Amino acid sequence: MELTFEKHDLLNSLQVLQGVASGRTTLPILSNVLIQAVNGKIECIATDLEVGIKIKVEGAIQEDGAITVSAKKLADIVKELPEDKPIHFATTANDRVELTCGNGVYKIIGLPDEEFPQLPAVDGDSLTIDGDVLRDLLYKTEFAAATEDVRYFLNGLYFNFLPDKTEVVATDMRWLALARCERLTSENVKGFIIPLKAVKEIARTFAESGTVQISIFENQILFADENATLTTRLVEGDYPPYQKIIPEAAEGRVVVSKEQMLHAARRVALLSNPKNYAIALEIDTQQLQISAKTPELGEAYEPIPVESGTGRIRIGIDARLLIETLGHVETESIAIEFKSEVEPIVFKPVGAESHICLVMPMRLES
């Protein structure tokens, strides 16, 4: 095989694939990327047997062929090559790869492509989603998904297709994030859970896509645009009835500046107990005061003004969850709704009714 690339074309593809190929594995070939040139196109492929990504790469083909080579090592070398010189990529005897760029020559040991796993074919019911909408749904929810929960169905995002809208939900039962968009699905597509690892790779792979095609077949799902495809297994299981924990009505509601609350929470959290990161929110119609008190460290409190509000409450919350939630709010103001000290605190970005976050309260020491 003999190919020629511009640096940015090859490097951009390798950087997308590294998230899949760089994981820990007992199979050495899974840390490799498959580079193949056939039928007039060049493709780079990586998989960890759970998530697989295939990307078309711009380049010139002098001779068809295929080889696998360490994704990390190849990306590290390409990253350091000069921008203004083409990269000549060729296979030699004994599954070696030779890179030539300017006066530099780099020889890497590869593995034959026959050992590389085939990506599963997915040819089922499909739907199309706007790329900006997809990225927005993922960004507003994925942070709340469980990362190592034994309840495996929480380790991902749930796409729920309702008659009039689509909801994407993530929760680990301490907090919940929900984002809505218009109804996406065809009649044959049911709700599904995408594993969290795949969610992160989807955002990276389709970071600039205008539209993305989604195809579902049995326990596999495929995302595709004109340049890339990503396949992953779906998480099996029934997602919990999350609608039941979203309060239908609130006893109190205040609106505050998101930025002011976020920065105050970060500062006050520095003196929270590192065992549980509990801070207190004391809310009334005039101000919201954030405070923390830890005997071994000290105490802190900081008030921020309320733009509008009704009701009053003193409620505990995990500072880490609060800061992460506020960090994914994209509006200037946020509404905080509450009922009691033991029911979820609801955060609603003002002007973005399609986004809701809940955080379960913590017990405060008297």
Task: State residue 249's pLDDT score.
Answer: 86
178 compared with 21, residue with greater pLDDT: 178
Question: What is the C-alpha to C-alpha distance for residues 355 and 133, in angstroms, rounded to an integer?
Answer: 13
Task: Give the percent of the chain with pLDDT over 70.
Answer: 97
Whole-number mean pLDDT of the chain?
93
- Terminal CA-to-CA distance of the chain, rounded, Å? 72
Which of 321, 332, 277, 281 minimizes the C-alpha distance to 303? Answer: 281
> Which positions ≥6 away from 141 have C-beta within 8 Å?
157, 168, 169, 170, 177, 178, 179
pLDDT 10s digits, 100-121: 999 999 999 999 999 899 888 7
Task: State residue 151's pLDDT score.
Answer: 84
Residue 144 contacts residue 155 (beta carbons within 8 Å): no
Domains parsed from the chain with CATH numbers = 2-115 (3.10.150.10), 125-243 (3.10.150.10), 247-359 (3.10.150.10)
Task: State residue 28's pLDDT score.
Answer: 87
DSSP string for 108-171: EE-B-GGGSPPPPP--SEEEEEEHHHHHHHHHTTGGGS-SS-SSGGGSEEEEEE-SSEEEEEEE
Task: State residue 186's pLDDT score.
Answer: 65
Question: What is the C-alpha to C-alpha distance for residues 257 and 353, in angstroms, rounded to an integer?
Answer: 16
Task: State residue 25's pLDDT score.
Answer: 67
Task: State residue 337's pLDDT score.
Answer: 97
pLDDT 10s digits, 146-171: 988 778 889 999 999 998 999 999 99
pLDDT confidence bin for 284, thresholds 50/70/90: very high
Q: Tell whether the model's pLDDT for residue 7 goes beyond 90.
A: yes
Q: Tell whether the model's pLDDT for residue 350 goes beyond 70.
A: yes
pLDDT 10s digits, 199-233: 999 999 999 999 999 998 888 999 999 999 999 99
pLDDT confidence bin for 354, thresholds 50/70/90: very high
pLDDT 10s digits, 303-340: 999 999 999 999 999 999 999 999 999 999 999 999 99
The mean pLDDT value for 254-275 works out to 97
DSSP string for 32-77: EEEEEEETTEEEEEEE-SSEEEEEEE--EEEE-EEEEEEHHHHHHH
Task: Give the percent of the chain with pLDDT over 90.
Answer: 82
pLDDT 10s digits, 59-79: 999 999 999 999 999 999 999
Q: Tell whether the model's pLDDT for residue 125 goes beyond 80.
A: no
Neighbours of 88 (CB within 10 A): 16
**pTM (2 decimals)?**
0.89
